[in-house]
Amino acid sequence: MSPTRYGHCMLAIWTCAVVGCVGSTRGIGPESSRGPTQSQPQPELRASALAESGRAWIARGDYVRAEQYLQLAWQAGHPEAELIGPLLQACIASNRFRAALAHTDRYLARHARAWRVRYVKSALLRALGQPAAARLELQQVESDAPRSTDASRLLRPKPGARR
């Protein structure tokens, strides 16, 4: 496995483990969800249906469509905490790291102490070739997170490594 491919796989694994982005589809398939219908006047029902459709598209492997539905659910008022994991999962699975980074920025603007999302953001920055920015995010994780995280370990210089 090439180092780049390995890095992408590790990023996806970290995201799923840290953010908990494995969502259930609760039996809703993409073919049964064509977006809002006239019989769904309540915005919270519409947002919920969009979120479920997004999760269903993830299960089917159509990550770009899943991202679209999940973004619409976010705009329709679905709780952000329930959407950030599946959104990141969809973006990372389709190698859309910049889109995932944009979602983490938007989420962190409203939830600055969400250290798990910040941890994923640091991994995304590292994957995009921005180690200095990734280091800053890890330092923030280190100050916000409980002692069980490995941010401190990642921040320590490796023996013999130059800074």
Whole-structure pTM value: 0.69
The C-alpha atoms of residue 59 and residue 72 are separated, in whole angstroms, by 18
Q: Return the axis-axis angle of helices 97-110 and 80-93, rounded to nearest 10°.
A: 160
For residue 138, tell me if it sits in a domain.
no
**Single-letter amino acid, residue 48:** S
Residue 142 pLDDT: 86
DSSP single-letter state for residue 42: S
Nearest residue to 13 via CA among 146, 119, 109, 131 = 119
In this predicted structure, the answer to whether residue 74 has a pLDDT above a threshold of 70 is yes
H-type alpha helices, 20-130:
43-60, 63-75, 80-93, 97-110, 115-127
Give the CATH number for residue 66.
1.25.40
| Encoded tokens for 1 | 């496995």
> Could you give the maximum distance between any two Cα atoms of the chain, in Å?
65
For residue 154, tell me if it sits in a domain.
no
For residue 118, tell me if it sits in a domain.
no
For residue 15, tell me if it sits in a domain.
yes
For residue 70, tell me if it sits in a domain.
yes
Residue 96 pLDDT: 97
End-to-end CA distance of the chain: 27
For residue 73, tell me if it sits in a domain.
yes
Domain that holds residue 51: 3-113
**Single-letter amino acid, residue 95:** N
Distance from CA of residue 46 to its chain's centroid?
22
For residue 39, tell me if it sits in a domain.
yes
For residue 43, tell me if it sits in a domain.
yes
Count: domains in the chain: 1
The per-residue pLDDT for range 50-63, each reduced to its tens digit, is 999 999 999 999 99
